[in-house]
Amino acid sequence: MSSSIVSQSCSVNRNGKSTVTWKQIQSWFQEKLKQQSQPKFKTLPSPPLQIHDLSNPSCYAANATFVQTRKGKASDLADLAFEAKSARDYAWYDVSSFLTYRVLRTGELEVRVRFSGFDNRHDEWVNVKTSVRERSIPLEPSECGRVNIGDLLLCFQERDDQALYCDGHVVNIKRGIHDHRRCNCVFLVRYDLDNTEEPLGLEKICRRPDE
């Protein structure tokens, strides 16, 4: 993925939260996994790999009971606010839609995702447990006090040859005097990928949603 379009991995769509939570969609995936682990016929072995189409909304609309406290209509997976980690560069990108899912021989669940701002040439299979999560949220200047040492952040990492959104942990914070319109605080983060450290301003970090 070229650096000219990588900046789309933290789009304006990060603002706001879906009425359907990550725990709810994760429960749906887990329920599907349980169903696949139960063979319909005891005389036949379970297939080594199951692949299912999620491109048709009726697939999950018919299974809307996975949401215990759903409000409103059954939502299309494409409308949920998630991000996924690409195996190409280990960066996180906004998910435009979940296309299919499959159960591996190991019992692990994978989904094929389409990243926001990219076409089908960049679709990838990703592990649900390790590489899909609720979308990170940009911070307002008045919210910098929510960031503490040790916190996991999604950080905008700029290099000479690329610009990516990747995970980092806060190792130090230099608080600055500011108002609700501008934050001058500096957050020293250590990137999980290569253990390098870099000072970042508020505009280059996104916090993880509250659990």
pLDDT at 28: 65
Average pLDDT over residues 35-46: 45
Lowest mean pLDDT among 18-22, 45-49, 99-103, 180-184: 45-49
Average pLDDT over residues 161-173: 94
Task: List phi, psi (to 5°) of 81.
Answer: -95, 90
Is residue 126 pLDDT above 60, yes or no?
A: yes
Rounded alpha-carbon distances, angstroms, from residue 144 to 18, 80, 182, 211: 23, 26, 10, 18
Query: 111 has which bridge partners?
Result: 101, 126
Average pLDDT over residues 107-136: 92
Residue 36 near residue 101 (C-beta atoms within 8 A): no
pLDDT at 49: 47
Average pLDDT over residues 76-102: 83
Lookup: tokens for 94: 């906004």
More confident residue, 135 or 7: 135
Is residue 10 pLDDT above 60, yes or no?
A: no
Per residue in 174-199, pLDDT tens?
998 877 788 999 999 999 999 999 99
pLDDT at 69: 23
- CA 163 to centroid of chain Cα atoms: 18
Q: Helix/strand/coil (H, E, C) string of 70-130?
A: CCCCCCCHHHCCEEEECCCCCCEEEEEEEEEEEECCCCCEEEEEEECCCCHHHCEEEEHHH
CA 136/CA 81 separation, integer angstroms: 9
